[in-house]
């Protein structure tokens, strides 16, 4: 396996808050890497750095051997990096299909309009939104909007997909369905880096886990290893009951 | 372009152009011609404004600067360098478009109210420049001698030529906003209009697209300005850079339904007719602008989708035909 994404000593400070500090890890091709940590640990900031929403203060981001540090978001999308947002960002007055066509048109392949809408339809099918393709994004339920985020990112035909809490706010049935969708996406050869608070789900889905705390890497390893890591239990999980739950075999 | 030819909307635009060109010409109706010339001008200004306003979601209060600057460049080239009208018009369009591209890359970093304010600033700055630029006659402006109409067969025939050119500019404006709307470029602009940050993350090259849209929407208004001031044989800063016309273009676009091609054109036509009526009626002649203000308020409060928003919601099937 080769590193698809290589983060080297990233740092980002907002005023007095050191959101990300000296953070290094790699995402290997084909894996699902889970990113966990308490609120404010710097997970979403890290996504924003990778995604070019703002540049890091120091450190390097290398994607497929190319240094993409400080590039604008739309350039990074062309490299084959797509993401979903924790707080959904639909193009509200456009249909589900149009939303996804934007993703396909301006994603990695930069497809022409006609081809893009075919790719968009495929992505919509993977996310299970076929029946709502011509619905305006603003009329979707929250679960629908989460799926739209996923479909739109997928339509860009990314090599690496960043998922920011796609399971948050969904009911158990929806969570189960979404986990299925994520598995299907991985089977299509897309590497996934995901942030998630639903422990059971992320421990189940991930090949490896990176734990963040106060912007730094606290632990890294297989889900079972991480869950047994004393510092992780102390700093993050705190609650022995939750720790026990994590140590149960998936 | 052959795919465009198969769409009914392409032929609807062609029909509108034909009606504009033929109806006054058949009866040699000069009065109707003058009224339709203004309507064609309003349609041109509003349709081009719509590319920024309706597609990319940027409120441009200063769209008049393209019209005025185009007028100045054209009149100046005709007057000082004796360029033929056609060439002067094209030169004005290209020059203003290029300037808009440069300006656009700068001021389009701003968003919302700040962008709107900056566009007014651009108008004021360009107006101040025109007032102090000696080759453009400063505050007194430029007068053209009546001899300039000779190459077009004298004043009477020149006015017909100018009218037909204005109709052509209107037609091109409609086709341009239609072609943009159904293109990948247009899809990117619409995405920017909905949520610029999300659009950038999806890969839409936002700074470039906005600047291109701003620049593209400058060309035809500049040509229209050239025609308009050539026709009047006179241009001065206060006429060329009158913010009233900018505001009217916004009212018109909102009235018809921003983001739609049909609505904006329809809104422009209706507004011009209403304005003509009010200006000539004894009771209302001083209230014309008051009325457009009230109109804008009513639209914003009760009909945010404008005329087309109303039509679409009543007759959803029209969405397939009327862009």
- Report chain A residues whose CB lies below 8 A from the CB of B183: 113
The minimum CA-CA distance between B172 and chain A, rounded to whole Å, is 23
Name, in order, each residue with C-beta under 8 angstroms of A6's C-beta and a sequence gap of 6 or more.
A26, A27, A60, A61, A62, A63
- What is the C-alpha separation between B101 and A155, in angstroms, rounded? 31
A214 φ/ψ angles, rounded to the nearest 5 degrees = 50, 40
Choose the closest CB to B205 out of A51, A74, A94: A74
Say if the Cβ atoms of B187 and A156 lie within 8 Å.
Answer: no
- What is the C-alpha separation between B263 and B177, in angstroms, rounded? 12
Provide the pLDDT for residue B1. Answer: 54
- The answer to whether the CB of B197 falls within 8 A of the CB of A89 is yes
- Listed residue (A91, A117, A120, A139) closest to B191, CA to CA: A91
CA distances in angstroms from B64 to A112, B126, B196, B238, listed in the order given: 34, 11, 25, 11
CB atoms within 10 A of CB B82: 9
Mutate to test the interface with A, among B201, B209, B211, B312 (most CBs of A within 10 A): B201
- Listed residue (B195, B203, B75) closest to B141, CA to CA: B75
Count of A-B CB contacts under 8 Å: 72
The minimum CA-CA distance between B312 and chain A, rounded to whole Å, is 14
Say if the Cβ atoms of B199 and A102 lie within 8 Å.
Answer: yes
User: What's the whole-number mean pLDDT along residues A160-185?
Assistant: 91
Q: Give the pLDDT band (50/70/90) at residue A118.
A: very high
Say if the Cβ atoms of A91 and B191 lie within 8 Å.
Answer: yes
The minimum CA-CA distance between A117 and chain B, rounded to whole Å, is 11
Mutate to test the interface with B, among A105, A109, A162 (most CBs of B within 10 A): A105
Mutate to test the interface with B, among A52, A102, A145, A162 (most CBs of B within 10 A): A102
Task: Indicate the length of chain B as a whole number.
Answer: 323
Taking every pair of C-alpha atoms in chain A, what is the biggest distance, in angstroms?
54
Instruction: To the nearest 10°, report the CA torsion of B65, B69, B72, B75.
Output: -110
Say if the Cβ atoms of B190 and A53 lie within 8 Å.
Answer: no
What is the residue whose two structure tokens read 């906005």?
B210
CA distances in angstroms from B196 to B57, B58, B101, B106, B186, listed in the order given: 9, 11, 19, 17, 14
Provide the pLDDT for residue A26. Answer: 94
Choose the closest CB to A92 out of B194, B197, B200: B194
- The answer to whether the CB of B307 falls within 8 A of the CB of B263 is yes
Provide the pLDDT for residue A151. Answer: 94
A234, pLDDT greater than 90: no
Query: Where in A41-111 does DSSP place strands (E)?
Result: 58-63, 66-67, 81-83
Residue percentage of chain A with pLDDT more than 70: 93
CB atoms within 10 A of CB B179: 16
The count of C-alpha atoms lying within 13 angstroms of the C-alpha of A176, restricted to the half-sphere facing its C-beta, is 2
- Report chain B residues whose CB lies below 8 A from the CB of A104: none
Chain B's closest residue to A158, CA to CA, is B202
Provide the pLDDT for residue B2. Answer: 64
A26 pairs with which residues across the strands?
A6
Helix (H) or strand (E) holding A32: strand A32-36
- Report chain A residues whose CB lies below 8 A from the CB of B190: 91, 94, 98
pLDDT tens sequence across A22-68: 999 999 999 999 999 888 888 999 999 999 999 999 999 999 999 99
- What is the C-alpha separation between B194 and B187, in angstroms, rounded? 11
Delimit the domains of chain B by residue range. 2-240
Q: Record the pTM.
A: 0.90
Choose the closest CB to B194 out of A53, A75, A93: A93
Domains and CATH numbers, chain A: 1-73+208-223 (3.40.50.300), 80-198 (3.40.50.300)
Say if the Cβ atoms of B194 and A94 lie within 8 Å.
Answer: yes
Would you list which residues of chain B are within 8 Å, Cβ to Cβ, of chain A? 183-184, 187-188, 190-191, 194-195, 197-206
Chain A's closest residue to B187, CA to CA, is A102
- Report chain B residues whose CB lies below 8 A from the CB of A94: 190-191, 194
A246, pLDDT greater than 70: no
- Report chain B residues whose CB lies below 8 A from the CB of A102: 187-188, 191, 199, 202, 204
Better pLDDT: B244 or A78: A78
Say if the Cβ atoms of B204 and A106 lie within 8 Å.
Answer: yes
Chain A's closest residue to B206, CA to CA, is A74
A23 φ/ψ angles, rounded to the nearest 5 degrees = -100, 125
User: What's the whole-number mean pLDDT along residues A108-136?
Assistant: 92
- What is the C-alpha separation between B5 and A14, in angstroms, rounded? 54
How do beta strands A66-67 and A17-28 pair? unpaired
- What is the C-alpha separation between B318 and B323, in angstroms, rounded? 9
Name, in order, each residue with C-beta under 8 angstroms of B247's C-beta and a sequence gap of 6 or more.
B61, B292
Instruction: Walk along chain B (323 residues) and give the pLDDT tens digit of each residue.
Output: 567 777 888 999 999 999 999 998 888 888 899 999 999 999 999 999 999 999 999 999 989 999 999 999 999 999 999 899 999 999 999 999 999 999 888 889 898 889 999 999 999 999 999 999 999 998 899 998 888 888 888 888 899 999 999 999 999 999 999 999 999 999 999 999 999 999 999 999 999 999 999 999 999 999 999 999 999 989 999 999 998 888 889 888 988 888 899 999 998 998 888 888 888 777 776 777 777 778 778 888 888 888 888 888 888 888 877 88
């Amino acid at each position: 396996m080769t590193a698809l994404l290589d983060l080297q000593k990233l740092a980002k400070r907002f005023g007095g808050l050191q959101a990300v500090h000296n953070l290094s890890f790699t995402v290997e091709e084909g894996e699902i890497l889970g990113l966990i940590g308490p609120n404010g640990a710097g997970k979403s900031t890290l996504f924003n750095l990778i995604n070019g929403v703002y540049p890091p203060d120091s450190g390097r981001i290398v994607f497929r051997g190319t240094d993409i540090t400080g590039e604008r978001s739309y350039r990074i999308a062309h490299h084959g990096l797509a993401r979903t947002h924790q707080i959904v960002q639909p193009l509200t007055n456009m249909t589900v299909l149009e939303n996804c066509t934007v993703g396909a048109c301006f994603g990695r392949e930069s497809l022409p309009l006609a081809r893009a809408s075919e790719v968009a339809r495929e992505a919509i099918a993977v996310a299970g939104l076929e029946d709502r393709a011509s619905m305006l994004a603003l009329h979707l339920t929250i679960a629908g909007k989460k799926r739209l985020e996923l479909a739109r990112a997928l339509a860009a035909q990314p090599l690496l997909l960043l998922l920011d809490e796609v399971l948050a706010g969904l009911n158990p049935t929806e969570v189960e369905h979404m986990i299925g969708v994520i598995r299907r996406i991985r089977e299509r050869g897309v590497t996934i880096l995901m942030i998630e608070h639903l422990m059971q789900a992320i421990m189940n889905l991930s090949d490896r886990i990176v734990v963040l705390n106060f912007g730094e890497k606290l632990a890294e390893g297989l889900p079972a290893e991480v869950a047994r890591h004393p510092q992780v239990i102390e700093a993050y999980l705190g609650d022995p009951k939750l720790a026990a739950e994590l140590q149960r075999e998936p | 372009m052959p795919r465009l030819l198969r769409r009914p909307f392409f032929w609807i635009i062609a029909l509108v152009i034909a009606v504009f060109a033929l109806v006054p010409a058949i009866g040699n109706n000069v009065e109707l011609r003058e009224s339709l010339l203004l309507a064609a001008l309003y349609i041109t200004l509003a349709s081009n404004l719509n590319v920024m306003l309706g597609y990319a979601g940027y409120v441009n209060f200063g769209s008049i600067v393209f019209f005025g600057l185009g007028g100045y460049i054209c009149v100046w080239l005709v007057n000082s360098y004796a360029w033929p009208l056609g060439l002067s018009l094209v030169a004005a369009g290209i020059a203003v478009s290029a300037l808009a591209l440069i300006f656009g890359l700068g001021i389009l970093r701003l968003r919302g109210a700040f962008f709107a304010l900056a566009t007014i600033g651009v108008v004021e700055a360009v107006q101040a420049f025109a007032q102090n630029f000696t080759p453009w006659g400063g505050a007194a402006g430029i007068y053209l001698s009546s001899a300039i109409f000779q190459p077009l067969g004298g004043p009477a025939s020149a006015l017909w030529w100018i009218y037909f050119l204005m109709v052509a500019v209107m037609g091109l404006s409609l086709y341009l906003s239609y072609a943009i709307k159904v293109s990948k470029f247009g899809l990117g602009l619409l995405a920017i209009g909905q949520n610029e940050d999300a659009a950038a993350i999806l890969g839409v090259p936002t700074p470039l697209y906005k600047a291109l849209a701003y620049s593209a929407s400058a060309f035809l208004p500049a040509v229209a300005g050239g025609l308009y001031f050539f026709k009047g044989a006179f241009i001065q800063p206060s006429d060329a850079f009158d913010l009233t016309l900018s505001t009217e273009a916004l009212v018109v676009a909102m009235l018809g339904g921003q983001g739609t091609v049909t609505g904006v054109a329809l809104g422009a036509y209706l507004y011009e007719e209403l304005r003509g009526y009010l200006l000539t009626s004894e009771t209302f002649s001083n209230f014309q602008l008051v009325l457009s203000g009230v109109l804008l308020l009513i639209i914003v409060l009760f009909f945010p989708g404008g005329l087309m928003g109303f039509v679409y919601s009543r007759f959803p099937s029209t969405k397939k035909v009327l862009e």
